[in-house]
């Protein structure tokens, strides 16, 4: 998905409302040896991952699900695992978002606030 500036702004505004909580969840996942925490972000509830923030819970317009690398590999959403690991940013500083909108998916890293 080619994320345009207006769409990116919508994602950023929503993310700011929940970033502190996502950062805490990321830390807990890493403590449990999930080395690559990923948060699926979608307008509709998703079938993958564990729902952690529903749309409207914090005046947000997206749903957030915690997900991990192995599940994305199993579902063929990540094929080049080593490339993903190489590109993955420091999870203590950046949130890895898997943006799912209609038929489009894309990864986006946003710094925690």
User: Of 25 and 104, which is predicted with more confidence?
Assistant: 25
Average pLDDT of the residues in 33-62? 93
Q: Is the per-residue pLDDT at 27 higher than 90?
A: yes
- 0.85 cut: is pTM over it? yes
Query: Which residue spans within the chain are E strands per DSSP?
Result: 38-42, 50-53, 63-67, 94-101, 104-111
Sign of CA pseudo-dihedral 10, 51, 36, 113: positive
Domain residues for the domain of 15 are: 5-111
Q: What is the pLDDT of residues 79-105, one digit of tens each?
A: 999 999 999 999 999 999 999 887 778
Bridge-partner residues for 104, per DSSP?
101
C-alpha distance from residue 87 to each of 27, 46, 93, 96, 111 (Å): 19, 25, 14, 11, 15
pLDDT of residue 1: 47
- Mean pLDDT for the chain? 91
Q: What confidence category does residue 3 fall into, taking pLDDT thresholds of 50, 70 and 90? A: low
Report DSSP letters for 58-73, one per residue.
TS-SSEEEEE-HHHHH
Tell me how many domains the chain contains.
1
Q: What confidence category does residue 4 fall into, taking pLDDT thresholds of 50, 70 and 90? A: low
């Amino acid at each position: 998905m080619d994320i345009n500036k207006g769409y990116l702004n919508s994602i950023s505004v929503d993310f700011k409302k929940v970033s502190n909580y996502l950062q805490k969840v990321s830390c807990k996942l890493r403590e449990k040896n999930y080395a690559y925490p990923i948060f699926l972000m979608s307008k509709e509830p998703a079938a993958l991952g564990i729902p952690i923030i529903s749309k409207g819970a914090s005046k947000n317009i997206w749903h957030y699900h915690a997900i991990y690398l192995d599940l994305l590999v199993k579902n063929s959403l990540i094929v080049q695992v080593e490339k993903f690991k190489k590109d993955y940013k420091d999870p203590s500083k950046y949130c890895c978002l898997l943006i799912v909108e209609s038929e489009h998916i894309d990864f986006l890293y946003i710094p925690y606030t």
